[in-house]
Amino acid sequence: MCGIIGINSNKSVSASIINSLKKLEYRGYDSAGIATLSSGQINEVKSEGRVDNLEKNSLVQNMEGTIGIGHVRWATHGSPNSLNAHPHSSQNVSVVHNGIIENSTLLKKFLVGKGHKFKSQTDTEVIVHLITEHLKTDDIVNSIKKTLKSLHGSFALGIIFKDQPDLIVGARRGSPLAVGYGPNENYLGSDSYALKSMTNKITYLNDGEFCVIKKDHVEFFSDDGVKINKKVLELSSQEEEYDKGDYKHFMAKEIEEQPLTLKNGIKEYIDNSNNDINIYNFPWKISEISSITLIGCGTAYHSCLMAKYWFEELTSLDVNVDIASEFRYRKNRFKRDSLYIFVSQSGETADTYAALDICKKNGMKTCAVVNVIESSIARDSEFVLPIHCGTEIGVASTKAFLGQILILYILSLKLALLRKDLKKDVFTQKLNDLKKLPKLVDQTLSIDNKIQTISNTFNEAKGSMFLGRGFSYPIALEGALKLKELSYIHAEGYPAGEMKHGPLALIEEGMPVVVLAPRDNYYKKTISNMQEVIARGAKVLLVTNKSKDEIVSENIWETLEVETTNADLLPFLLTIPLQKLAYYSALKKGFDIDKPRNLAKSVTVE
């Protein structure tokens, strides 16, 4: 989703801004732009599509200026073209914006009445004209303060001013924003990753705060314009190397990295010498928790749903799962004895953050399961369980999903042991099985060739279904999501037992249907549901695990067998062929696998 960069330096900034915008590309975007200040003029260049297009523009190559802002845009208001790309500028001010201004129509009406002329279809342009209007009577801090007060919605802003050769303003409400410190230069960025090539000294703005960035110092203000002091954090200075190596896409690399993701998670949390799970500094007594509420969006929501099955199977805890965008507006009954767990790869998802915020305001216990440990959700949760899968660049989540479900499984085991819901010997057996999981995932990764051929049928179909029961149901949802977001094929995830209550009507002759039927307690039931779709002409791809027992069924189109382990862990293995199916169908269709259309890596608007 949109990304912001700002640099105030004593040397030319355009190349560094372009470089930092490239670091923000992973978030998903459709246009890019840059504005610098030179000889008292704001110069603005924007282009549709990739940052590469912007970089190749001769105006950018010759762009002067020691202060500037840049942006990658993920369209919300107005189509993704160069006119709507940011920055947006008036004679005096240039603005980049992440988020959505909900009252932009009203504000625009007011500003047009005052004689302001609008060039784009964006909500952002009202900010430019509001600041310009206030600057007629107020200084910069007051103009910003007044502008921010009249905006409804969410924003992270970077602003430069024609008459201010040493000043960038940053402001935040809802969308994340960080300030970075360098030698004789300072920076603004929507995440620390974008700034990492320049600095590891970072300050995060809290909601409502704004800042004034000069070359040699930065001042911070609360929303009422009062100066405040903020901490400078020193992040790890190592810049991880992100290249695809021999892989065609980051997604392919990230799928193959999953055994390592699991090894890292297991190493972090499992104490081999004591056959135990270490979760250090857990801030609550076990007796204080009698229910769990898991909240997330998209793939992270599927992780939550997966965890519900484990928590219910292994513990006596009461478990609820919620989609963050639903949770945040419902009339929730907050429970003192509930632990609220927020699952997010990026740690910046606006809806998940809002749900966390509501829980905090209601005095609830909050725990984050995140990949990006410097993220807003991690910083603002009482307790954090990192998933340690390394940066995930492919916009469609793969290794982060396995990382999330691993941590949630580990947590369910530990709580089950502490609550005495699980006997120590059963716990030990489950830990031993878990330690073998990375190898089994590694072996399962080799079922490539067959999936490549199978993907042709999906690509030719009008639509497809993914069915599963019990532990396999969340994986069916995740498999369908991966296929639709990467290959743009209609894919519906469904509980297999629910088909006869309506969706069987969708089954047509030759329709590909993935049936997840591992040899667990649900196996026989799922196989019966499979017969129902086969009888109606579906081409069934059965995904099961290796077993001595023959599959007793006729007319199955194709079968894929993953490795074998205990029933709890089969979901990890079943995920692999579904990720590969989505990857190969998108590959054959020639789609942009690492940056699928209309999907952002960090969804910072609601």
Interface contacts to ligand F6R, rule CB under 6 A = 297-300, 344-346, 349, 352, 396-397, 481, 485, 603
Catalytic residue among 46, 215, 414, 601: 601
Min dist CB 27 to ligand F6R, Å, is 10
Residue 341 near residue 306, CB atoms below 8 Å:
no
Cβ proximity of 491 and 483 under 8 Å: yes
Q: Based on CB atoms, which residue is closest to ligand F6R, 347 or 518?
A: 347
Q: Is 601 noted as a catalytic residue in this protein?
A: yes
CB-side exposure of 360: number of CA atoms within 13 Å? 15
Nearest to ligand F6R of 89, 349 (CB atom): 349
| 475/540 with CB nearer ligand F6R | 475
Contact 4, 77 (CB under 8 A): no
Three-state DSSP at 88 gives strand
Q: How far is the CB of 372 from ligand F6R (least distance, A)?
A: 8
Tell me which long-range contacts 265-271 makes (C-beta under 8 A, separation of at least 24). Answer: 265/387, 265/388, 265/389, 265/403, 265/406, 265/407, 265/410, 266/406, 266/434, 266/435, 266/437, 266/438, 268/386, 268/388, 269/407, 269/410, 270/410, 270/431, 270/434, 270/435
Give the DSSP letter of residue 604.
-
297 counts as catalytic: no
The least distance separating ligand F6R from the CB of residue 309, rounded to whole angstroms, comes to 19
Nearest approach, Cβ of residue 279 and ligand F6R (Å): 21
**Which CB atom, from 481 or from 587, has the smaller least distance to ligand F6R?**
481
Give, rounded to a whole angstrom, the gap between the first and last alpha carbons of the chain. 11
Min. distance of Cβ 342 from ligand F6R in angstroms? 9
Q: Per this entry, what is the length of the chain? A: 606
| % helix, strand, coil for the chain, step of 5 | 40, 25, 35
Q: Which of 2, 297, 304, 359 is catalytic?
A: 2
Burial 424-434 (b: 16+ CB within 10 A, else e): eeebeebbeeb
Residues 6+ apart with CB under 8 A from 520: 470, 471, 472, 567, 570
**How far is the C-alpha of 210 from the C-alpha of 222, rounded, in Å?**
7
Q: Of 42 and 396, which CB lies nearer to ligand F6R in the complex structure?
A: 396
* Residue whose CB is less far from ligand F6R, 134 or 484: 484
DSSP string, 80-110: SSTTTSSPEE-SSEEEEEEEEETTHHHHHHH
Q: Using alpha carbons only, how large is the chain's radius of gyration in Å?
A: 26
| Nearest approach, Cβ of residue 189 and ligand F6R (Å) | 18
Cα atoms in the Cβ-side hemisphere of radius 13 Å centred on 15: 4
Return the DSSP state at 174. Answer: B
Nearer to ligand F6R, 172 or 601 (CB): 601
> Cβ-closest residue to ligand F6R?
298
| 3-class state of residue 480 by DSSP | helix
- Closest separation in Å from C-beta 346 to ligand F6R: 3
**In the bound complex, what is the minimum distance in angstroms from residue 134's beta carbon to ligand F6R?**
35
Residue with tokens 């990295």: 257
The nearest distance, CB 487 to ligand F6R, in angstroms, is: 13
Three-class secondary structure of residue 27 per DSSP: helix
CA distances from 578 to 257, 337, 397, 544 (A): 16, 37, 12, 12
Smallest distance from ligand F6R to CB 262, Å: 18
Closer to ligand F6R at the Cβ: 393 or 516?
A: 393
Closest to ligand F6R by CB, 203 vs 398, is 398
How many Å apart are CA 493 and CA 476, to the nearest integer? 5
Cα(32)–Cα(592) distance, integer angstroms: 18
Residue 354 CB, nearest distance to ligand F6R (Å)? Answer: 12
Give the other-Cβ count within 10 Å of 202's Cβ. 21
Token pair recorded at residue 362 = 């209601």
Task: Rank residues 5 and 297 by Cβ distance to ligand F6R and give the closer one.
Answer: 297
Of 383 and 557, the one with the shorter C-beta distance to ligand F6R is 383
**246: phi > 0 → left, psi -120 to 50 → alpha, else beta; which?**
alpha
Q: How far is CA 405 from its chain centroid?
A: 15
Measure the CA–CA gap between 391 and 371, rounded to whole angstroms: 8
By the 8 A CB rule, do 315 and 421 touch?
Answer: yes
Catalytic residues: 2, 601
